[in-house]
Amino acid sequence: MKMRSVVPMKIAKAGYIVMSVLFCAAGILFIAEPQMSTEIIGVCIGVAMILFGIVKLIGYFSKDLFRLAFQFDLEFGILMMVLGVSVLLNPKNLMGFICVALGISILLDGLFKIRIAMDSKQFGIKSWWLIMALAIIAGGTGVFLIFDSVIGSRALSVLLGLTLLLEGVLNLYTVISTVLIVKNQAPDMIEVETFEIDGKER
C-alpha cells in the first residue's frame, strides 16, 4: 500500500508555527508602540491574514492524523484571505475596518477552537482545557475589537496588539498539541486494483 506523503502536513504545521510566532511578535510590537502608523499596521495585518489563510488551506488539505487543528480551515482560510485583501484595499477609515475585520476573524477562530477543544477531549488529549480557555479569552478580545468605537485610538492599538498576541498563542498551542504527523500514514481510501476472471471485471 502506498503511504500518504507527510510533506503537506509538515508544511502546514511549520506554517502555523511561523505565522503564530509572527502574530505574537506583531502583538508585542503594537502594545509597545501604540502610536505606530495606521498604514503600516494595515499592511502588516492584511498580508499576515492572507498568508495565514493560505497556510490554513494547506493544513485542511494535508489530512493529518487526528484532523483536529485543521478541520475548519477550508472555510476559515478563505475567509481570512478575503478579509486580508479587504484590509489592504480599504485605505479609508483603515483602523476601524482592521479592527472589525480582525475582530470577526478572531471571534470565529475562537469559536472553532472551542469545538476543537471539545473534540480533543474525546481524543484523550489532556490539555484540551487549555485550548478551551485560550479560545474563550482570544474570542472575547475579538468581540472588543469589533466594538472598537468605545475606546480611544491608543488603547485600541494596545487592544489590537493583545488580541494578536492571544491569537498567536492560541494557534501555536493548538497546532503543537493536536497535530500528529505519522510517517507511515495510510491514505483514507484503499485503492483496489481490478482484474478480470472469465472475462468479468472483479
Q: What is the pLDDT of residues 20-79, one digit of tens each?
A: 999 999 899 888 887 777 777 788 888 888 998 998 888 888 776 566 777 878 888 898
Question: Rounded to whole angstroms, how far apart are CA atoms 26 and 166?
Answer: 11
* Ramachandran class of 124: left when φ > 0, alpha when ψ lies in -120 to 50, beta otherwise: left
Whole-number Å distance between alpha carbons of 15 and 77: 13
The predicted-structure confidence for 144-161, as pLDDT tens digits, reads as follows 888 765 565 667 778 888
Question: Which pLDDT value is given to residue 133?
Answer: 94
Taking only Cα atoms into account, the Rg of the chain, rounded to an integer number of angstroms, comes to 20
* Whole-number pLDDT of residue 151: 60
Task: Write out pLDDT tens, residues 4-17.
Answer: 667 777 888 898 89
Q: pLDDT digits over 172-200, tens only? A: 998 888 877 656 555 554 444 443 444 54
pLDDT of residue 190: 43
CA-CA distances (angstroms) from residue 127 to 28, 29, 44? Answer: 25, 29, 32
pLDDT number for residue 188:
52
Q: What is the pLDDT of residue 201?
A: 46
Distance of CA 101 to the CA centre of its chain: 14
How high is the pLDDT of residue 33?
84
- Report whether pLDDT(113) > 60: yes
| CA angle centred on 178, ends 181 and 161, rounded to 5° | 120
Is the pLDDT at 202 greater than 50, yes or no?
no
Taking the CA of residue 57 as centre, how many other CA atoms within 13 Å lie in the half-sphere pointing to its CB?
12
Inter-CA distances, 161 with 26, 33, 34, 142, 158, Å: 7, 9, 8, 11, 5
Section 83-90 average pLDDT: 84
Q: What is the pLDDT of residue 184?
A: 55
- Residue 1 binned pLDDT confidence (cut-offs 50, 70, 90): very low
